[in-house]
Amino acid sequence: MIAKSKKPEEIEKFEKIVMDAENYNAEQIDACIKDLKIKDPETGNALTCAVPFNLMFENSFGPSGYASGYLRPETAQGIFINFRRLIEYNNGRMPFAAA
């Protein structure tokens, strides 16, 4: 949230950052953090450099298992939610597979 006491040009700068932030690469994010002097709100420590990461789950497909594909995170939630029930259903043993 932008404070009311900011100058109009600062507000415009912040709004542009908010609009473009999704398209920033790691270096641009680091520059923005450094420029705005953003710190950890709990400790006041400096933040580490931004690193790219993939939220998708890699999985093997096909009869040989050598082809890889990616699952969206929301499609993989069910296995984590139902895991306890699957263990109980298998008498405390690790389930071999779940569909």
- Cα dihedral: 15, 17, 19, 25 (round 10): 180
pLDDT in tens, 45-64: 999 999 877 778 888 888 88
CA distances from 31 to 10, 41, 46, 65, 80 (A): 17, 18, 13, 42, 37
- Report domain extents, the chain: 1-52, 57-89
pTM above 0.75, yes or no: no
Residues in the chain where the model's pLDDT stays below 50: none
